[in-house]
Amino acid sequence: MFRFNAKALASAKPIVGSVRYVRTINFAGTNEVVHERSDYPAQKLKEFFSGSPIAVIGYGSQGYGQGLNLRDNGLDVLVGVREGGESWKLAQEDGWVPGKNLFPINEAIDRSSYVLNLLSDAAQSSTWPQIKDRLEGKTLCFSHGFSPVFHELTKVEPPSNVDTILVAPKGSGRTVRSLFKEGRGINSSYAVWKDVSGKAEEKAVALAIAVGSGYVYETTFEREVYSDLYGERGCLMGGIHGMFLAQYEVLRENGHTPSEAFNETVEEATQSLYPLIGKYGMDYMYDACSTTARRGALDWYPRFKDALKPVFEDLYQSVKDGSETKRSLDFNSQADYRDRLEEELQTIRNMEIWKVGKEVRKLRPENVQV
Ligand SMILES: NC(=O)c1ccc[n+]([C@@H]2O[C@H](COP(=O)([O-])OP(=O)(O)OC[C@H]3O[C@@H](n4cnc5c(N)ncnc54)[C@H](OP(=O)(O)O)[C@@H]3O)[C@@H](O)[C@H]2O)c1
């Protein structure tokens, strides 16, 4: 547990001399520091951020989740987005009021002590020239290490006189919001890029809890961005999609019906087996399956691992050398990037496997009307 006294919080000075319990957890032999939400009740957060307005710049998935959670935590928060854009409209629908707590980006920054840069990663780069000179005396926070770590490509170099921190929720902003509303919190990581005040770490942890985190893990900007870009291209999204497609295609090429191919590839995975891995672990999932299934999976997983490892090695290299960042910036900076993305998503929607999925989902017990 990690505790400090209210007086120290009120003055927002580094906590020196007060008892501070930091939870150290042994993760399979490696000790890591973890902070938790219960160490920062609402009143302490209010005292910590008292007199320090927080500007949430951008109102995409993270701006929405983090902004509303900060507001519900009773903090002085304002949203900054471009006037007349989609986000300006969405923010108003969520109760942000122009001139009160909704402002154009520059004005929101000027009115704040904390600046949470939650623009799209491409927009962080293109708007940096207008933002960088307004940051003196403030604390700058990112939710991704992308912009500062790849500064040679993004041109985002936090000023040397500004506390610069990272609070990165491990999930979409929608989940940041829904878990907060359920009285729980998403896991996040935090890091310090530049500690000018001597309080940057404390600010990062407090901010992480304030935006709706449950447990907060220590990282670095580099580790966060490398693992994040790698993971989403790999097992979280790209890799798993590729594996589903390969398995489905071979089943179809061997005469299996669309529903059978889908059920054996996606439906059983997502509805029956993967939730077991999530809840109880891989060994439990093996244990829950037949001896025939177990024997086969135990024999084949090393072959899949060996076949895929070189692909993951290429991927990590492509993340680390900036190729993935360059590709993302080039694509997402184009004026028509939303239309082009939509075209690619349409291609996925039109794949046989995902069209079959739509029909299979209708037949799930919870979707069948009796
Ligand atoms: N989404 C996630 O799951 C997730 C998870 C963890 C961390 N993160 C990180 O959180 C940050 C925000 O991501 P996000 O997914 O919430 O947002 P996003 O959808 O990538 O970005 C949306 C915001 O960027 C603004 N924007 C785009 N182009 C702009 C421009 N040229 N000028 C001004 N504003 C512009 C949009 O405003 P308009 O509506 O006006 O276009 C909108 O408010 C990123 O650093 C991301 O890597 C995201």
CB-CB contact of 64 with 95 (8 Å): no
Q: H or E stretch including 27? A: strand 23-27
Q: State yes or no: 290 annotated in a binding site.
A: yes
Which atom belonging to ligand 1 lies closest to the Cα atom of 122? 28
The one-letter amino acid code at 158 reads P
> Model confidence over 250-300: pLDDT tens digits?
999 999 999 999 999 999 999 999 999 999 999 999 999 999 999 999 999
Which atom belonging to ligand 1 lies closest to the Cα atom of 61? 16
Q: Whose CA is nearest to atom 18 of ligand 1?
A: 120
Q: Whose CA is nearest to atom 35 of ligand 1?
A: 123
Which atom belonging to ligand 1 lies closest to the Cα atom of 169? 6
Share of the chain above pLDDT 70, in %: 94
With a CB cutoff of 8 Å and minimum separation 6, the contacts of 191 are 145, 165, 166, 168, 204, 218, 219, 220, 221, 223, 224
Is the predicted pLDDT of residue 17 greater than 90, yes or no? no
CB-CB contact of 349 with 341 (8 Å): no
Where does the pLDDT of residue 22 fall: very low under 50, low under 70, confident under 90, or very high at 90 and above?
low
Query: Measured from the CB, is residue 128 less than 6 Å from ligand 1?
Result: no
With a CB cutoff of 8 Å and minimum separation 6, the contacts of 314 are none
Q: What are the extents of the domains in the chain?
A: 23-219, 232-367
Rounded to the nearest integer, the mean pLDDT of the chain is 92
Q: Which residue has the tokens 């999609």?
A: 241
Using the mean position of ligand 1's atoms as its centre, give its distance from the Cα of residue 108 in Å.
16
Is the predicted pLDDT of residue 4 greater than 50, yes or no? no
Catalytic center residues:
144
Q: State yes or no: 264 annotated in a binding site.
A: yes
Instruction: Tell me what the mean pLDDT of segment 219-247 comes to.
Output: 97
Q: State yes or no: 352 annotated in a binding site.
A: no
Using the mean position of ligand 1's atoms as its centre, give its distance from the Cα of residue 9 in Å.
31
From the number of C-beta atoms within 10 Å of its C-beta (0-12, 13-18, 19+), residue 68 rates as buried
Query: Measured from the CB, is residue 67 less than 6 Å from ligand 1?
Result: no
With a CB cutoff of 8 Å and minimum separation 6, the contacts of 243 are none
Query: Measured from the CB, is residue 141 less than 6 Å from ligand 1?
Result: no
The one-letter amino acid code at 305 reads K
Q: State yes or no: 228 annotated in a binding site.
A: yes
- Give me the torsion for CA of 133, 195, 75, 7, rounded to 10°: -140
Using the mean position of ligand 1's atoms as its centre, give its distance from the Cα of residue 146 in Å.
12
pTM above threshold 0.75: yes
Q: Note the pLDDT of residue 172.
A: 93
Q: Which CATH number fits domain 23-219: 3.40.50.720, 1.10.286.10, 1.10.760.10, 2.60.40.2700?
A: 3.40.50.720
Q: Note the pLDDT of residue 23.
A: 81
Mutate which of 89, 118, 221 for ligand 1? The one with the most ligand atoms within 8 Å of its CB, which is: 118
Query: Measured from the CB, is residue 325 less than 6 Å from ligand 1?
Result: no
Mutate which of 64, 119, 179, 325 for ligand 1? The one with the most ligand atoms within 8 Å of its CB, which is: 119
Which atom belonging to ligand 1 lies closest to the Cα atom of 147? 45
Reply yes or no on domain 232-367 having CATH 1.10.1040.10: yes
Return d(Cα 40, Cα 51) in angstroms, integer. 18
With a CB cutoff of 8 Å and minimum separation 6, the contacts of 48 are 9, 12, 40, 206
Least confident of 222-226, 283-287, 321-325, 328-332: 328-332
With a CB cutoff of 8 Å and minimum separation 6, the contacts of 268 are none
Query: Measured from the CB, is residue 148 less than 6 Å from ligand 1?
Result: no
Using the mean position of ligand 1's atoms as its centre, give its distance from the Cα of residue 285 in Å.
37
User: Residue 196 has which token pair?
Assistant: 């000018």
Using the mean position of ligand 1's atoms as its centre, give its distance from the Cα of residue 122 in Å.
8
Where does the pLDDT of residue 203 fall: very low under 50, low under 70, confident under 90, or very high at 90 and above?
very high
Instruction: Tell me what the mean pLDDT of segment 46-73 comes to.
Output: 98
Of 367 and 360, the structure prediction assigns the larger pLDDT to 360
Using the mean position of ligand 1's atoms as its centre, give its distance from the Cα of residue 284 in Å.
38
Contacts 24+ apart (CB under 8 A), 181-184: 184/214
Return d(Cα 135, Cα 110) in angstroms, integer. 8
